[in-house]
Amino acid sequence: MPPADPMTDPAEDRRFMAAAIALSERGRGLSTPNPNVGCLIVRDGRVVGRGWTQKGGRPHAEAQALEQAMDRAHGATAYVTLEPCFHLSPRGPRCADLLARAGIRRAVIALRDPDPRTNGQGAAWLRDHGVAVEMGLMETQARAAMAGFVLRQTRGRPAVTLKLGLSLDGRIALPDGSSRWITGPDARAHAHLERARHDAILVGGGTLRCDAPRLDVRLPGMESRSPRRILLSRGEAPSGWERIKRPEDIAALDRVDHLLVEGGAQTAAAFLRAGLVDRLLLYRAPILIGEGLPGIGDIGLADLAQAHGRWALADERHLGVDRLEVYAAARSA
Amino acid sequence: MPPADPMTDPAEDRRFMAAAIALSERGRGLSTPNPNVGCLIVRDGRVVGRGWTQKGGRPHAEAQALEQAMDRAHGATAYVTLEPCFHLSPRGPRCADLLARAGIRRAVIALRDPDPRTNGQGAAWLRDHGVAVEMGLMETQARAAMAGFVLRQTRGRPAVTLKLGLSLDGRIALPDGSSRWITGPDARAHAHLERARHDAILVGGGTLRCDAPRLDVRLPGMESRSPRRILLSRGEAPSGWERIKRPEDIAALDRVDHLLVEGGAQTAAAFLRAGLVDRLLLYRAPILIGEGLPGIGDIGLADLAQAHGRWALADERHLGVDRLEVYAAARSA
């Protein structure tokens, strides 16, 4: 390995990698079946190229960033959230090769590609072509941003987010089922943004019958980002919907790396029982409902001790008077 | 009104008043039937006396702070969370008189005393005796710290806090009633500290029968701070307990300015239906329970619109892996 540039600054590296990870989030729910990678090209402390994996997976983040950077990529540093691909594809060039040819002098990579067709070979290629490579910077954050791709590789299934809109006392509706509105406009807009960041949304038969949800993205300019709609049911799916019979069937969903489960209580419980929830999105309104509908049915908990240690707070923010809390499954890859 | 000292500094005033309010919290649940006042005496930017209303109401905060300050009170500023008392009492001296005699030059007061026996007369007495008086600084915070006293004066009833220990999905127990433990040791210790800050704890008949709660303060050195125990029930109260039949009967509880309601769901709902909850203490554990017992029963909500605008986040903190959220009733005095 060639020595790293003596001018490198760890704080600056983290800042640029954080920016690359933020870029990668733009491709979430869009880049499938390719991972949503982010790439930043920096020369002399200035960003000269930015890219993220585009719709359907092409172009790759690196190709897009290099196209922006043009000649300025020569001697620059590339920050990439995933090891540049090495394998040949009829759909586009190999990013490791592209970076080396463009004269990139140093590549900082967050996550080694678990895809066996690359898995270290992209980095090796770069090194063989005179590029200084550092791997592992902010790997945890990059892994979280590309959770669906990682889980496809490691567990053969998409990443699953369970969304709940709750009162302080944990109710999602009045006894008659009315739930408009628990949360306010800011929280609802955020929830629509989350829809756009998933490849598909799933609800159960009860929710479909009672609420007839549209499950689309109702944000100006983002209507085309509405994800596919999936029904968990033993019955027939309506036109425009796909159907699975059991939570485990998500593994077979083609081109779904990020799945959003939106209800109801039995569906949420089925995914939790199966250990198939990686992330909780809790939109909490500062209201009390008292008697009403719970968000989660029977998850088969025999003992409170079993409930502990499974969830860790990953993010939180205020959305108007409401609050969003994001919890990550402790055991999730 | 004499002119304020030209050397006064608003930021310093706020800092010292905040300290006086923090002192006042020490007397909560202890000073009844007197308000839990805090007092700080400051000369040349240095604290020379600190006081808070002691057990049973005497000595008053000002008397205690003056005793500490001794001669140093001469020319000093007194920060008091409540207007110093003016009325004559067989139990002790009038604080307005004490402050004036001690040579206090300036009195900064948070809250005008709503007690008609003082209500502005303490401040007037101070001014008449050459003390510069400023009233209203951090009134809202002082009012919250002395909520029980204020509500006794304005509504003829104690301040009521409803405590819930919840999972993320709003459950307080498994279906069989087991609730040990939802929250961890830090949250439970904090809940015991809250007990010590109340004059009495109330539970319903169901909770008494099922959980046989001791409702004491199990913190080293604070066992003597265990509050009185009150049962909401139509039946008989066990030995060592008092009993009320309806939430409204709290008005008749002697020497109870701060009441903590600890459960169960029907009791919580009864107080909420009656509009008699001023503060919510939510201890939230990062666990999911699914099917289980809710913390709050039927509060008679006909429409979700009615539920909004009633609660505002007042405080929050991490307690180990758990979180405490404190909500204040929006309409509470």
ipTM of the complex model: 0.88
Nearest CB neighbour to A169, from listed B287, B289, B295: B295
Nearest CB neighbour to A312, from listed B286, B290, B298: B286
Tell me how many residue pairs between chain A and chain B have CB atoms under 8 A apart.
142
Looking at residue A219, its pLDDT comes to 84
Condensed to tens digits (0 to 9), the pLDDT of residues A211-248 reads 778 888 888 888 888 889 999 999 898 999 999 999 99
Q: Which of B297, B307, B287, B329 is nearest to B143 (CA)?
A: B329
Cβ–Cβ gap A288/B299 under 8 Å: yes
Cβ–Cβ gap A301/B290 under 8 Å: yes
Residues B112, B82: Cα–Cα separation, whole Å: 6
- Please enumerate, as own/partner, the contacts of A151-156 that have beta carbons within 8 Å and a separation of 24 or more: A151/A257, A151/A278, A151/A332, A151/A333, A152/A257, A153/A114, A153/A115, A154/A114, A154/A333, A155/A333, A156/A251
What mean pLDDT is predicted for residues A112-120?
90
Cβ–Cβ gap B169/A164 under 8 Å: yes
Cβ–Cβ gap A179/B269 under 8 Å: no
Burial B292-307 (b: 16+ CB within 10 A, else e): bbbbbbbbebeebeeb
Which of A3-17, A178-192, B68-82 has the lowest average pLDDT? Answer: A3-17
Substitution target in A179, A301, A318, A331 with the highest count of B β-carbons within 10 Å is A301
Name the strands in the sheet holding A132-135, side by side, starting at the edge strand that comes first in the sequence. Answer: A46-52, A38-43, A77-82, A106-111, A132-135
Neighbours of A154 (CB within 10 A): 12
- Please enumerate, as own/partner, the contacts of B213-217 that have beta carbons within 8 Å and a separation of 24 or more: B213/B262, B215/B262, B217/B192, B217/B193
Q: Got the DSSP string for B140-185?
A: HHHHHHTHHHHHHHHHSS-EEEEEEEE-TTSEEE-TT---TTSS-H
What is the CATH code for A10-152? Answer: 3.40.140.10
Nearest CB neighbour to A289, from listed B171, B280, B307: B307
Task: With beta carbons under 8 A apart, name residues in chain A contacting B292.
Answer: 301
Condensed to tens digits (0 to 9), the pLDDT of residues B196-241 reads 999 999 999 888 888 778 888 888 888 888 889 999 999 898 999 9
Looking at residue A89, its pLDDT comes to 79
The minimum CA-CA distance between B43 and chain A, rounded to whole Å, is 42
Task: With beta carbons under 8 A apart, name residues in chain A contacting B170.
Answer: 166-171, 294-295
Task: With beta carbons under 8 A apart, name residues in chain A contacting B279.
Answer: none
Substitution target in B304, B321, B326 with the highest count of A β-carbons within 10 Å is B304
Closest B-chain CA to A163: B169
The minimum CA-CA distance between B332 and chain A, rounded to whole Å, is 15
Quickly tell me which residue has 């020369």 as its tokens: A43
Residue A5's pLDDT band (boundaries 50, 70, 90)?
A: low
Task: With beta carbons under 8 A apart, name residues in chain A contacting B286.
Answer: 310-313, 327
pLDDT at A87 over 90: no
pLDDT at A333 over 60: no
Looking at residue B7, its pLDDT comes to 67
Which of A60-69, A152-161, A312-321, B209-218 has the lowest average pLDDT? Answer: B209-218
Looking at residue B333, its pLDDT comes to 42
Residues B9, A78: Cα–Cα separation, whole Å: 53
Residues of chain B below pLDDT 70? 1-7, 331-333
E-state strands within A37-145 = 38-43, 46-52, 77-82, 106-111, 132-135
Residues A199, A272: Cα–Cα separation, whole Å: 20
Q: Which residues of B touch A (CB under 8 A)?
A: 164, 166-171, 174, 178-182, 269, 272, 280, 282, 285-292, 294-301, 303-304, 307-308, 310-313, 321, 323, 325, 327
Quickly tell me which residue has 């490849």 as its tokens: A199
Q: Residue ranges of the domains in chain B?
A: 10-152, 157-329
* Top-tier CATH class for B157-329: alpha beta
In the annotation, is B62 catalytic? yes
pLDDT at A332 over 50: no
